[in-house]
Amino acid sequence: MVHVNRHTTIDPIGDNTGIDHIFKNPETGEYVIVESKFHGTGGLSNLSDGTRQMSNNWISNGLENNTDRLWKAVGGDMSLYNDIKNNGFERVIAYIQADGTINYKYVGADGYEINTVFDN
């Protein structure tokens, strides 16, 4: 895990408008940004301004306005922020079912699901 906003409960606490998880594969160095959705909560949505959740603009919309989700998720670590931005990342949505099963799907740069990665 490389994100700083670690969740310890499934109940919403505070500002839940950011990135849920960022992981780095220690073997490949690849980053994965994960959005988690619990059974019955729906999928990826659009903000009131039309920005699609998990899209390029939703993840990182620039540091000048202090709302960049990637920047916040890495706790303002400029080196890590630049590493993720420059080297790229995969997007994944994790659908957590009531029985604990998790279904993972890739998400495209536009914020729409592409295909199933695997079921747990």
Short-list 16, 24, 13, 15, CA closest to 74: 24
Splitting the chain (120 residues) into consecutive groups of 10 residues, what average pLDDT does each group show? 56 64 91 88 87 95 84 92 94 90 93 78
pLDDT single digits (tens) 73-85: 999 999 999 999 9
CB 77 within 8 A of CB 17: no
What pLDDT is attached to residue 63? 84
What pLDDT is attached to residue 7? 52
CB 96 within 8 A of CB 111: no
Q: Please list, in sequence order, all residues whose beta carbon lies within 8 angstroms of the beta carbon of residue 102, skipping any fewer than 6 positions away.
A: 94, 95, 96, 119, 120
What pLDDT is attached to residue 119? 62
What pLDDT is attached to residue 120? 59
What pLDDT is attached to residue 118? 65
Pairing relationship of beta strands 113-119 and 102-107 according to DSSP bridges: antiparallel
